[in-house]
Amino acid sequence: MLSGLLNSLLWFLGILLFINYIEATTATATFGFTNQTDQEALLAIKDLISEDPFNSLSSWNSSLQFCSWQGVTCGRRHRRVTSLNLSSLELAGSLSPHIGNLTFLRVIDLSRNRFHHIFPPEVGQLFRLRYLSLANNSFQGELPSTLGVCSNLVFLNLYGNNFRGKIPSALGSLSRLRWLNLVSNHFTGAIPPSFGNLSSMNLGISNIVFQQILWYGSSTALQYLIHQFSFLCGQPINRSHDIGLTLPNLQNLYLGTNQFFGHIPKSIVNLSSLIDIDLAYNSLTGRVPNNLGNLQNLETINFGGNPLGDENTSDLTFLTSLTNCTNLREVWFFENHLRGVLPASVANLSTNLYWLTLGTNYITGDIPVEIENLKNLAYLAFPENMLTGRLPDSIGKLSKLQELHIYTNKISGNIPSSFGNLSGILRLNLADNFLEGTIPVSLANYSQLEGLELSYNQLSGVIPEKLAAIDSLIGLFLALNNLTGPLPSQLGNARNLNELDISENKLSGEIPRSIESCVMLENLNMEGNFFEGTIPSSFKKLRSIRVLNLARNNLSGQIPKFLGELPLLGYLNLSVNSFDGEVPTGGVFNNASAFSVAGNDKLCGGIKALQLHECPKQRQQNGFPRKVVILVSSIALFLFLLLASVCAVIHSKKRNKSGPSLVSPLEKKYQRVSYSELARATGGFSSTNIIGDGKYGTVYQGILGSDDQVAVKVFKLQQRGASNTFMAEINALRNIRHRNLVRIVNSCSTIDFKGDDFKALIMEFMSNGSLESWLHASSAESEDFKNLSLLQRINIATDLALALDYLHNQCETTVVHCDLKPSNILLDNDLTAHVGDFGLAKILLAALGESFSTESSSICIRGTIGYVAPEYGMGGEASTHGDVYSYGILLLEMFTGKRPIDSMFTGEFNLHSFVKAALPDQVMEIIGPLLSNDIQEEAQTRRNGPRGSRSINIGKVKECLASILQVGLRCSTDLPSERMDIGNVPSELHKITKILSNR
């Protein structure tokens, strides 16, 4: 019995050995590959790896058998490579085609490295391959169709590469595939029809990475098929290949952020198993199907970012249909074109609903009081609509609410005190409405509040003490209201406060010392109030402060030197107060574009760029009583003024026929400049000294006096409008001073040697010429062409925004430049930008409801094509909005390197739409080649630099570039009312600068 059993066992083992031999022999005979082949293939792979910072492949040598090399796993029987795992080793180089010789491979994981060039098509020879991950590399070119031969593939992850072209239709034949991720690549075209064969899969095409796609459902069916395309075009549902018929088991449909167009088909309800549907950020139009309620299993619906809607009817009937979806948890309809009155049925949606957003539409009517039925809501948002009426008290019964956003509507009345019952609220945003009354004291009940935004309303009264003392508070925004009284002394309890904006109110009193406890504070804006006293010495403890704006208050005393010692302070505005004494130097005070002290007439000293008079030296009073000194000084001042008046009268009587010399208040060094002096200064107005030439004038470089370099703008008086342009610049610059405006040294109005009229402006000389010469190599000024770095461009853009903010918002009378363009931007030795050429400037006397211009009201239409705001072409009056538009176009030009009149822009396709279509994924494709090269060179320099040096984060640079261009887009929208407030631009750019400086 035992011997029989032993014989059977030996027979069975013999059969196994025979099968193993046959398998090995067959494999070798069929493919000609052996263990030696595997070793040679691995060494070939190593040869093409150019960087191995951790020496991870040091074991790949003849001293060890290859199955013991790092990342290599072999089968026990045949000792052939079955797994190659080189994940997260920061390897760089190409992937050798010899990988196709590792025919026993089942697993390849090369994720989180820096492999580049093409992905070898020889991988198609690996018929045993089940797992392939190339995530977070830089593979380029088209995805090889040979992957479709790998019929055993279960997992394919190509996330975060640079694959281009169409998706191979061969992928539709991978019948065993359970996971596919093509996110963050550059695929184009439509979904391959072969994907319709994957009827057991769930289909999703999305690049919304925060959706956190995870494994989901059974292990025998692909639950998520995720794609991310930069340009995935075509109608979402092909009539001949209806997804509702071919994928009846589909549970999750993600088609977000592509270029699908057309209407949403009603047949979508045939997908009866749908749980989640996401069609956000496409170009879908028409009405939202009103039969969505047939999707009984629906939990999430996201149609945001599509121009959906029908202007002739109400678009919100679908909300009533959705009340049948009892499992509904998330509803996203934002940035659509939906119109109509908000139906009361919105309150009848599923009681499981925890996320509801209908923001940025054209929804009217009141918020229904029945909203309290949605008792599980955690997020409720109706922002940027046209809702009216009052805020319902019933919102206060939504005890689970964490975020409430109803900003930018037409809501009126008081803030209900019942809102204080929302004890779990994290963020409350009611800004930009018509709310009135006081801020309810009950809001201080919020124990977890992180952000409160009530700006742009009509709120009055005081800021509740306890509200400003919430420890969890990160951002408090109360700007542009009618708030009165002091800033709460308990503010110091808000130790996590990061941003505080109380600007444009009627707050008064002294700045509380307790603010020193807000050590996390980065942005403090107190502009436009009635604060008085000095800047508290406690401010020196605000070591995190980056932006400090105390402009337009009644603050006095000396400017504290410790402000220059705050390590992160990058923007300081102390303008229009009553400060006196010496302007400090050091820190922020060394950068003229980073701070403003304009409108403080008693200041002296500071850096040279301020052009303030020197501070008087302190002298001993030799024991004289203070009153005597004051009396003597007063008498001396009176006598001086009397003598000056007499001299002025005598001088006015002696002026000759050559005409008056119009002296600018900005500079009195050259009070008498004759035509002959200007001729000598410019070499007889020699063509070799021309540094700029425009319609109304020619600019010459010259030496005035002994060694003072100046720029002389001689007006072409034969040109119609030139004389008026001369007067426009005089009037525009008569009473304005700013570090980012070209200063007028003097002006001259006389006759030349021929007896002809002569008018000229003598200006500061800018050694680095115009911005035009730096942006465009083809410029006539570009003989010594140089490139501007990314940070230099941002600094220049910040300078220009500060200049416009001053002209628009801080001058006694608003000045509109009307011709902002690169040739009118001049750069000094430090590449600080100065706005010049105010020949088309228009002064708006807003307080009187009148305007002054040297020419007709249509003067601004004669600005420069490409930079002129579209409303000017339709007869619109000059306004600050027009300057903002020009600034936006200029900003886009600075970073794309393309002029707004480039030949590529025709019809309705312009620089604005060119940039808008590319954001955010293709930002590196649209920036100028010089800037792109500069970024790449910096990255390479840091990569090759000394060990331990900080490497550049290209991803962060891309995000910053996208943010900058987004500012340009917001400034250059067609509708003036939608353009960004120029006063907000500097702080936006400053944040970006700080991010890049710390990259």
Ordered DSSP codes for 678-691: HHHHTTTT-GGGEE
Please say whether the beta carbons of 66 and 42 come within 8 A: yes
Q: Just list the catalytic residues.
A: 819
- Who contacts 945 (Cβ-Cβ below 8 Å, separation ≥6)? none
Between the CA atoms of 941, 944, 946 and 951, what dihedral angle is there, to the nearest 10 degrees?
A: 60
- Euclidean distance between CA atoms 870 and 459, whole angstroms: 35
Q: Which amino acid is it at 751? A: I
Ordered DSSP codes for 192-225: PGGGGG-TTS--EE---GGG-----S-TTS---E
For tokens 């019809």, the residue is 907
Residues in the chain: 999
Sort 932 into a burial class: Cβ within 10 Å, 0-12 / 13-18 / 19+. middle
Structure tokens at 214: 């995870």
Q: Please list, residue by residue across 222-256, b when 16 or more beta carbons sit within 10 angstroms of its beta carbon and e when fewer do.
A: bbbbbbbbbebeeebbeeeeebbeebeebbbbbbb
Half-sphere exposure of residue 22, counting CA atoms within 13 Å on the CB side? 6
Structure tokens at 534: 């000095």
Please say whether the beta carbons of 673 and 704 come within 8 A: yes
Cα 217 from chain centre: 38
Please say whether the beta carbons of 364 and 388 come within 8 A: yes
- Who contacts 19 (Cβ-Cβ below 8 Å, separation ≥6)? none
Please say whether the beta carbons of 756 and 698 come within 8 A: no
- Euclidean distance between CA atoms 56 and 861, whole angstroms: 65
For 699, phi and psi rounded to 5 degrees?
-105, 130
Q: Which amino acid is it at 277? A: I
- Euclidean distance between CA atoms 638 and 633, whole angstroms: 9
DSSP class of residue 979? S
Using a CB cutoff of 8 Å and minimum separation of 24, what contacts does 747-750 make? 747/661, 747/662, 747/663, 747/664, 748/661, 748/662, 748/673, 748/674, 748/675, 748/678, 749/659, 749/660, 749/661, 749/662, 750/658, 750/659, 750/661, 750/674, 750/675
Q: How far is CA 735 from CA 211, 385, 583, 673, 723, in A?
A: 55, 42, 21, 21, 20
Cα 469 from chain centre: 31
- Who contacts 153 (Cβ-Cβ below 8 Å, separation ≥6)? 129, 130, 131, 132, 147, 174, 176, 177
Please say whether the beta carbons of 893 and 857 come within 8 A: no
- Euclidean distance between CA atoms 383 and 398, whole angstroms: 18
- Euclidean distance between CA atoms 297 and 626, whole angstroms: 87
Structure tokens at 417: 């005190």
Structure tokens at 235: 């109608």
By C-alpha distance, which of 977, 981, 951 is closest to 967? 981
Number of H helices, E strands in the chain: 15, 53
